[in-house]
Structure 1
Amino acid sequence: MKKTILLTAVFLVCAALLFGAEGSDNSIVYRNIKVYKVYAHPDAYIIMYYTNSMDLGQVTVPTEWFKAGSGKGVLNTYKTPVTPYMTLQYTDGAFTKIILNMPLRRTDIAWETMNQTADTAAAKQKDTLKLE
């Protein structure tokens, strides 16, 4: 019985060291932010979000970030009711990815369509994301 407990303890310590070495990248940080509304435009998403003080902030994100293979953005949509939120990923303190979690139906109150003539030129030039 003592040998079994000792071998199990040694195995657990070895496994913890082995898997701990692979996942020890502490330079990636995630930040979840509640979204109020997203205005969809062919060139950009204008995201209205809640700040820490429950005020509203706004950020414009190019839609090309959400195209397959870009690596900058992911748009997750859900059939079930979901409170919209975005997750921002930072690597070594620099923005690397946005994950936007929204309801599937574009008729949901969290989605709004922006006039196609609206100016979103500023979003095309961004390579990073900075919140207000």
Structure 2
Amino acid sequence: MKKTILLTAIFLVCAALLFGAEGVDNSVIYRNIKVYKVYAHPDAYIIMYYTNSMDLGQVTVPTEWFKSGSGKGVLNTYRTPVTPYMTLQYTDGAFSKIVLNMPLSRTDMAWETLNQTTDVGAAKQKDTLKLE
């Protein structure tokens, strides 16, 4: 009787592990990166971020990515105090999405506004995002 109960329990655990692992998708990876400052321009966001060695890196992202329906970017703004950060999503090893989490108020120290005449066209990335 005890052997039957023990064997049944082992069988159920093994079955749960096998069926549970079927739906797991390991091809999507997320990377959170702390943001120092974002320079807003009508054509692009220039994002200053902390690298792993606590140096500053810079990446330019088109504002088109954050428009509804593009699927490349999401801009989340919060009324409560938040430490700015971005989440990068990679699908099958390739960049697929950026989520920028920032304070709502554009007067916050994390936001700066660039002059509209500043040329950011040469630095914009069209299809993918590569960090320095």
The normalised TM-score by structure 1 is: 0.85
Letter in 1 for 2:107: T
For structure 1, the 5+ residue unaligned runs are: none
Q: Which residue of 1 aligns with 2:22?
A: 21
Q: Which residue of 1 aligns with 2:35?
A: 35
Q: CA deviation at 1:21?
A: 1.8
Q: Pairwise mapping of residues 89-128 of structure 1 onto structure 2 (< 5 A)?
A: 89-124=89-124, 126-128=126-128
Q: Which has the larger radius of gyration?
A: 2
Q: CA deviation at 1:19?
A: 4.2
Question: What is the alpha-carbon distance in structure 2 between the residues aligned to residue 37 and residue 73 of structure 1?
Answer: 17
Letter in 2 for 1:121: G
Q: Is the 8 A contact 1:44 1:123 kept in 2?
A: no
Q: Is the 8 A contact 1:43 1:120 kept in 2?
A: yes
| Shift in CA distance, 8/66, structure 1 to aligned 2, threshold 3 Å | farther
Find runs of 4+ consecutive structure 1 residues off by over 6 angstroms.
Answer: 5-12
Letter in 2 for 1:32: N
What is the RMSD computed on CA atoms of the aligned residues?
2.2
Question: What is the alpha-carbon distance in structure 1 between the residues aligned to residue 79 and residue 36 of structure 2?
Answer: 18
Q: CA deviation at 1:55?
A: 0.7
